[in-house]
Amino acid sequence: MTADSEYRVQFVRQENGPRRRIRHGAITLHAVIEKRTPNGRVLDKTRLGSIDLDALEYDFVRDREEFWRVTDLYLDLLDMPNDAADVVCAYLSQVVKPVTECEGSADYGCGGRLRETMRPDA
């Protein structure tokens, strides 16, 4: 997505072995980004966040949050242009929706306290 390189992102499915299935379910998805030359040669391949398919099915907020935390960390380390990172995140968010502020506060038991701070004094 720049003149000298292009980024491609995809999800790679990993079928989990019997021991891993106990805690993580049958399948884990790994987001992978490739940096390519304009002629298609792969320059670099980096694994981003991972998430269990069960976590997506049951919409586990903490697992989604961990996916995005790791993904953001690696995208920052890649030092890619902001517009390319935005496109990558838009693609990934079609599969793993970002955690909203409301979901995050409710998941950590802060929902009531957050609502209290947002109420105007009577």
The 10s digit of each residue's pLDDT in 28-40 is: 999 999 999 989 8
DSSP state of 17: P
Considering the entire predicted model, what is its pTM? 0.80
Q: Facing residues of 44 across strands?
A: 35
Judge contact between 32 and 45, C-beta under 8 A: yes
Residue 107 has what pLDDT?
Answer: 56
Task: Please give the C-alpha separations between residue 113 and each of 17, 101, 110, 121, in angstroms, as whole numbers.
Answer: 42, 13, 5, 14
Which residues does the chain have with pLDDT short of 50?
1, 111-122
Residue 104: the pLDDT is 72
Report pLDDT for 109: 58
* Rounded CA separation 86/5 (Å): 16
Are the CB atoms for 75 and 88 separated by under 8 Å? yes
